[in-house]
Amino acid sequence: MAQQDIKNEMDEVITQLEQRGIQYNQKDDLTGLGDVMESVLTSMGITQERFKEWFNLQECNCTKRKKWLNNLFSWKRNKG
């Protein structure tokens, strides 16, 4: 499967949800699954830049997917 096809398939999920009127939460005081996944992947050296390089993409839409995951599974941040 071509890299662009992979990106298009990933983006189609968000497009379908948006067409059904489902929006992601944009509150700054929340954290969630997307933040946790980003943190774990970054600790393993897997960053947005690296992902784009591996799949030869100009844009990976990782930030948008992170926001969607945060919206699906989120919780209020502890203010430490």
Q: What's residue 65's pLDDT?
A: 86
Strand ranges, E, within 33-80: 74-76
How far is it, in rounded angstroms, from Cα 44 to Cα 47?
9
Question: For residue 77, what pLDDT band results from cuts at 50, 70 and 90?
Answer: low
Greater pLDDT, 76 or 20: 20
Q: What's residue 50's pLDDT?
A: 92
How far is it, in rounded angstroms, from Cα 17 to Cα 65?
12
- Over residues 53-68, the pLDDT tens digits come to 988 888 888 888 888 8
pTM for this predicted structure: 0.57
- Over residues 5-42, the pLDDT tens digits come to 777 787 887 788 778 776 665 556 667 888 888 999 99
How far is it, in rounded angstroms, from Cα 6 to Cα 10?
6
